[in-house]
Structure 1
Amino acid sequence: MQITRFGHAAVLVEVAGARILVDPGTFSVDETFALTGLDAIVVTHQHPDHLDQERLPPLLAGNPDAVLVCDPETAASVSVGEWIRNAEGLETAIGAASVRGVGAQHAVILPTLPRIANVGVLVSAPGEPTLFHPGDSYEHAPDGVDVLALPLAAPWAKTSETVDFAQRVAPATLFPVHDRTISDLAYGTYWGQVSGHAGVDDCRLVDQTGTFELSHN
């Protein structure tokens, strides 16, 4: 499995011959929207930092055969593409790989704001590690996660909750996502608290456009 960050929450997962892009949003780097050869584009929820609707059309045009997967609320907000429904427990085959939905709702930001849909995803393939991208929620900690894309900071989270979530998921490896909201000066504080207290031996500080590979032990 090869994992490449494309800024903030956008992650390209290459596994079992499939290229699966998750959450191409407004904080993603421009190169995200020039990607080609994608087999799937998956969106966890409709917030702009996870789905940039202005830059989405060229991405879809460059990947006409990609399977598009998101929750129904998000699908209703998008004016381009034919989107397959994602939901808790639903599994979508992407060649030899699969994407399975986890959860249903976005974390609470404020009690006065209605909660929208948020469906995290487990990306897996036979003989390969399983990656979990939760979108914007710490609610669910599925079993069997080898690598966690960990939201590092958000208006809906505090560091104690981030650490608790990582401990509950208990992956072999974690790396940060959802971190463009942190200033360069403060980044080390957030990362140091998570990497020092999550109880995960392999905490990888991956840059906004960094790449790494994992195999199933």
Structure 2
Amino acid sequence: MRITKLGHACVRIEHEGTTVVLDPGGFTDPDAVDGVDAVLVTHEHADHYAAGSLRRAEAPVHTIEGVAAHVREDAPDLVDRLHVVSPGERFEVGAVSVRAVGELHAVIHPELPRIANCGYVLEAGGTSVYHPGDALTGPGQDVDVLLLPVSAPWLRVAEAVDFAREVGARRNLAIHDRIYSDVGLGVVGGHLERFLEPRGQAYTRLADGEDL
């Protein structure tokens, strides 16, 4: 399995001729979706969902009803490619098996309503990867790679550390990293390395376009 970090929360996963991209939102270059077999979207926020990217993909779009409602309004020409998923649902995209996880976005502020959010566990070739979207909901299983949010209005460093510990993945790849400056991300990365690596959990932040 090849995992490529793209802009912000967008990750591209390839295995045996199947390519899946997750959350190609407004902080991600539109070409992130070129040639993919499917797009997965975790929730409706603009840094994760962009109608223009979905239109460019020319591939099935798997997402929750909250996002599907926006697609019907913003890009009705894409409705025929929509596949609405529910928590716990499993489906296949070529050589990649996918399971939907969780129901709600993390709390941004108690006075703001929580929107729906769906993470995804992807498995292929004996490797499992978890993208939680904007939530700190565990995958409900052991995974090899956690795509770990590291900067967000709803996230403290301590929460990122505890979430990574709870999931227990041996590899933790930073995502959701366009909110902080490079200096801030360096501080966050230092804490994550300090707390995770003694437990045998590696932490990595890749530049856009780099892969594992």
Judge same fold: TM > 0.5, yes or no.
yes
Q: Could you tell me the TM-score, scaled by structure 2's length?
A: 0.91
Task: Please give the secondary structure, in 2, of the residue aligned with 1:47.
Answer: coil
Per the alignment, residue 85 of structure 2 pairs with 86
Which moved further from structure 2: 15-24 or 76-85?
A: 76-85
Per the alignment, residue 170 of structure 2 pairs with 172
| Count of paired positions | 204
Structure 1 residue 23 corresponds to structure 2 residue 23: yes
Unmatched segments (≥5 aa) in structure 2 = none
Q: Deviations over 1:173-197 (max 9, x none)?
A: 1110000001022221011111221
Q: Deviations over 1:105-160 (max 9, x none)?
A: 101111111111100000012x4210000000012242120001000011111111
How far apart are residue 30 of structure 1 and its match? 3.9
Structure 1 residue 158 corresponds to structure 2 residue 156: yes
Within the candidate set 188, 194, 197, 1:196 is matched to 194
CA distance, structure 2, for counterparts of residue 58 and residue 16 of structure 1: 23
1:93-132 equivalences in 2 (<5 Å):
93-125=92-124, 127-132=125-130
The structure with the greater share of residues assigned to helix is 2
Give the conservation status (yes or no) of the 8 Å contact 1:6–1:31: no
Per the alignment, residue 14 of structure 1 pairs with 14
How far apart are residue 97 of structure 1 and its match? 1.5
Per the alignment, residue 70 of structure 1 pairs with 63
How far apart are residue 86 of structure 1 and its match? 1.7
Give the conservation status (yes or no) of the 8 Å contact 1:15–1:128: no
Return closer, same or farther for 1:206/1:134 CA change in 2, 3 Å cut-off.
same
How far apart are residue 200 of structure 1 and its match? 4.2
Return closer, same or farther for 1:30/1:54 CA change in 2, 3 Å cut-off.
closer
Aligned sequence identity (%): 36
Unmatched segments (≥5 aa) in structure 1 = 213-217
Q: Could you tell me the TM-score, scaled by structure 1's length?
A: 0.89
CA distance, structure 2, for counterparts of residue 94 and residue 58 of structure 1: 19
Return closer, same or farther for 1:47/1:25 CA change in 2, 3 Å cut-off.
same
Which moved further from structure 2: 133-142 or 169-178?
A: 133-142
CA distance, structure 2, for counterparts of residue 179 and residue 140 of structure 1: 20
Q: Which amino acid aligns with 1:121?
A: Y
Per the alignment, residue 215 of structure 1 pairs with none
